[in-house]
Structure 1
Amino acid sequence: MLSQSMTDALNKQINWEMYSSNLYLQMSSWCAFKGLDGCAEFLNEHANEERMHMQKLLAYVNETGGLAILGQIDAPPTQFESVKDVFEKTFHHEQLVTAKINELVHQASTEKDYATLQFLQWYVAEQHQEEFLFKSILDKIEMIGTQGQGIFFIDREVGQMLTQKTQESTAMTTAQNGDVGTA
């Protein structure tokens, strides 16, 4: 069973994950408004992932005898200076989420809550991947530049990253489930 302090901390993270989802959904909307369909789709999918992160936390709190509580979530910003600004804000946001996950890990370790510590390891690995992903997008923006057709190529690259990620996810699921197509 979770301590009250661990339950409270996990509930804060549940709400933080919902804010993250709303933030990325708003960024997706901004990109769609600007005609950046690849970036819009990518960020929309990322918003869905953040909701999944929230649901996973919520289920864990409920499974371990705690009461998951959804609190008020602040509205995300609606305006951004550029596509580079969007991804800089996303990268910094993911760094903040990583810090929050690390705080949860520290708390679980301090409380000797080894089940929660084990559960949180997935989030630790996920945050490493998230930061790497958004840093790589920023690196691509820096390489391509935002002048002239640069925005077009950035949008295409980010859209292809979503396609590649989907293909990798499908391949991993197929590998985990065994290849049912062979005899």
Structure 2
Amino acid sequence: MRAALAFVRLVLAWCVILGASSVLLATVVVPRLAGATSYDVQTGSMRPGLPPGTLVVVRPVAPEQIGIGTVVTYQLESGEPTVVTHRVTEIGINRAGERVFRTQGDANDAIDPAPVRPVQVRGALWYSVPYAGHFNDLVTRRSGWPLLAAVIGLLGYAGWMFIGAARDRRATPADAPIEEGELVSS
């Protein structure tokens, strides 16, 4: 029974470590290595495909590569930090001869009022991670750091328990310490 419980703990520790590593890899490491940027979806305008709390990872894209149906993340106003992720529904040319895009959220009834200029586009959707946007939002807010520290601490503790379980499993009976009150035969 004790061995079965130890095995279950070992499997659970592995699941936690692999799960956390996978999320970290998908949300931080891969985007940085690929020159991509991640954003969290705040509203339901892109439901059902990108509900609130989804982390979207976008890669820079040339304006010529953006077609109708491409999901893009763009600045509401050029140079401002506020961004929106919507689908391109029309492509046109403005009075200055510049290519512009009309966008619309999948759940919205109307096309967005202002056309999007190429300078506003931060990138095209590469992939998304459901629910990871909640974690990203929590971490980027000041009030989220205590929770992040607790999560990191728990992951560290899980790793420590995993190492201890693996070490104990390798110990032979001759190496095992004798506990007080235990009978030893000679």
Where relative contact order (Cα < 8 A, 6+ residues apart) is larger, the structure is: 1
TM-score for both structures, normalised by structure 2: 0.27
Whose strand proportion is higher, 1 or 2? 2
Bigger-Rg structure (1/2): 2
TM-score for both structures, normalised by structure 1: 0.27
Whose helix proportion is higher, 1 or 2? 1
